């Protein structure tokens, strides 16, 4: 949004900026007329909302339902339409794989095949330990297809990543995933002439994997989607002059942080683990991205109360974060995941910002309805980082 003038006005100092993202935070009203955030008991966020500035943000644009990639890139200050990135690269980065120019990275799911139909796209959400064993089995038998070498790494739960390395690979391939259960497997198809080889390699991989997994249950086949080659995207330190740390327990979100140049050290599974790492690394970085996943997971499961409890758990931990005295803190989500929809949605996302110079507005609580009263108004997600930089004194005056 501001790429042309940003190099003229960006500056550095010793301030600390923190972006706390509750994945899928936003919602819409249920049968009782409330959202998950409205139903949650959040005294610490509410106090911060009364002291700071509130608003709503649009991750991509009006009426557009974003995936996690565009949702986070917007929060990181990148135009999510300009910098479109396939999920495969994020999964690969997230599990620590090397992706070089010309490689094709793909996201995989273990799935259940019965009577030639996909009956479970997530193989019963198998545990990560089993995923690792199945990936080791595939890795042992699938090393090369034609002149393309194959690298496979386990992700979290039923997910894994594949990197194909060889000449003439393209990401212009359709998803080999029917997207719904009760349908037969869907082969990958080239979306451009130069992608015929890639589609063929992908389909051969799926065929081989299905043969290798024939005696396994429930994970007896695989689905591949989110093809991606290495994108050309400016890094955080180059773009914003920020030494940035990404803290996320799920691989994809570490991949997103790594994509823009954040350091992404390993972290445990719990919110406590993430906060402990934040405290440990506080003196080493300028910008901190902390990701909370389960608010989105419960939304996608249609679990209203589960999402409420995760929001309340984060609120209970917030004083530990505030004890670090960040100069600017933002609490928001990457998109809305209303439990009544069981999916991502286009609804605006609540936004709370507290810094040294933020305007204490009329919002009395951190919720969609109260944030609509806030001084920040309705803004694009990519404007958030600019507001954080400004409040931290990291933007100079533009023009005479």
**Distance (Å, rounded) from C-alpha 359 to C-alpha 391?**
10
Give yes or no: residues 298 and 363 share one domain: yes
How many structural domains are present in the chain? 2
Domain residues for the domain of 65 are: 6-85+233-391
Of 202, 228, 254, the position where a domain reaches its end is: 228
Nearest CA among 177, 128, 179 for reference residue 154: 128
Give yes or no: residues 257 and 195 share one domain: no
**397 in a domain, yes or no?**
no
Of 175, 207, 228, the position where a domain reaches its end is: 228
DSSP string for residues in 274-319: HHHHHHHHGGG-SEEEEEE-HHHHHHHTT-HHHHHHHHHHHHHHHH
**386 in a domain, yes or no?**
yes
Give yes or no: residues 224 and 238 share one domain: no
Beta bridge partners of 353: 53, 330
Nearest CA among 387, 286, 392, 336 for reference residue 53: 387
Of 228, 243, 269, the position where a domain reaches its end is: 228
| CATH number, domain containing residue 175 | 3.30.70
pTM of the full structure: 0.86
Residue 1: its pLDDT value, please? 60
Q: In what order do the strands lie in the sheet with 377-380?
A: 244-247, 287-292, 17-22, 328-332, 349-355, 53-58, 377-380
Give yes or no: residues 98 and 195 share one domain: yes
Residue 371: its pLDDT value, please? 98
- Residue 48 has phi, psi (to 5 degrees) of -65, -40
| CATH number, domain containing residue 382 | 3.40.720.10
In the chain (400 residues long), the average pLDDT of successive 10-residue segments reads 86 98 96 96 98 97 93 95 86 88 94 94 92 96 96 93 96 93 94 96 97 95 93 92 95 90 93 96 98 94 96 97 98 97 96 96 96 97 97 94
**1 in a domain, yes or no?**
no
Give yes or no: residues 80 and 191 share one domain: no
Residue 123: its pLDDT value, please? 92
Give yes or no: residues 95 and 78 share one domain: no
Give yes or no: residues 325 and 256 share one domain: yes
């Amino acid at each position: 949004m501001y790429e042309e003038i940003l190099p003229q006005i960006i500056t550095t100092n010793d301030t600390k900026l923190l972006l706390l993202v509750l994945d899928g935070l936003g919602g819409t009203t249920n049968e009782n007329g409330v959202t998950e955030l409205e139903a949650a008991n959040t005294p610490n966020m509410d106090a911060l909302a009364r002291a700071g500035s509130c608003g709503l943000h649009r991750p991509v644009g009006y009426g557009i339902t974003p995936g996690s990639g565009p949702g986070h890139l917007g929060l990181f200050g990148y135009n999510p339409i300009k910098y479109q990135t396939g999920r495969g690269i994020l999964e690969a980065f997230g599990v620590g794989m090397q992706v070089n120019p010309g490689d094709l990275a793909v996201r995989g799911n273990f799935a259940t095949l019965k009577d030639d139909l996909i009956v479970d796209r997530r193989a019963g959400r198998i545990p990560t330990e089993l995923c690792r064993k199945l990936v080791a089995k595939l890795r042992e038998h699938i090393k090369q297809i034609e002149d393309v070498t194959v690298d496979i790494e386990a992700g979290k739960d039923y997910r894994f990543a594949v990197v194909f390395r060889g000449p003439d690979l393209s990401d212009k391939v359709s998803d080999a995933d029917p997207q719904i259960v009760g349908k037969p497997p869907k082969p990958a198809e080239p979306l451009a002439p130069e992608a015929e080889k890639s589609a063929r390699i992908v389909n051969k991989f799926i065929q081989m994997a299905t043969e290798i997994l024939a005696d396994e249950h429930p994970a007896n086949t695989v689905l591949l989607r989110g093809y991606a080659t290495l994108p050309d995207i400016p890094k955080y330190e180059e773009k914003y002059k920020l030494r940035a740390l990404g803290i996320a327990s799920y691989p994809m979100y570490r991949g997103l942080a790594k994509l823009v140049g954040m350091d992404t050290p390993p972290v445990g599974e719990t919110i406590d683990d993430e906060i402990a790492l934040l405290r440990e690394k506080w003196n080493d970085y300028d910008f901190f991205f902390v990701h909370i996943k389960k608010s989105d997971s419960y939304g996608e499961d249609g679990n209203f109360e589960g999402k409420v409890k995760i929001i309340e758990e984060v609120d209970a931990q917030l004083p530990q974060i505030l004890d670090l005295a960040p100069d600017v803190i933002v609490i928001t989500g990457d998109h809305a995941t209303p439990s009544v929809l069981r999916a991502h949605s286009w609804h605006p996302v609540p936004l709370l910002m507290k810094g040294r110079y933020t305007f204490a507005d009329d919002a009395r609580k951190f919720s969609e309805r109260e944030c609509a009263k806030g001084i920040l108004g309705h803004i694009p997600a990519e404007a958030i980082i600019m507001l954080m930089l400004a409040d931290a004194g990291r933007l100079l005056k533009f023009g005479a």
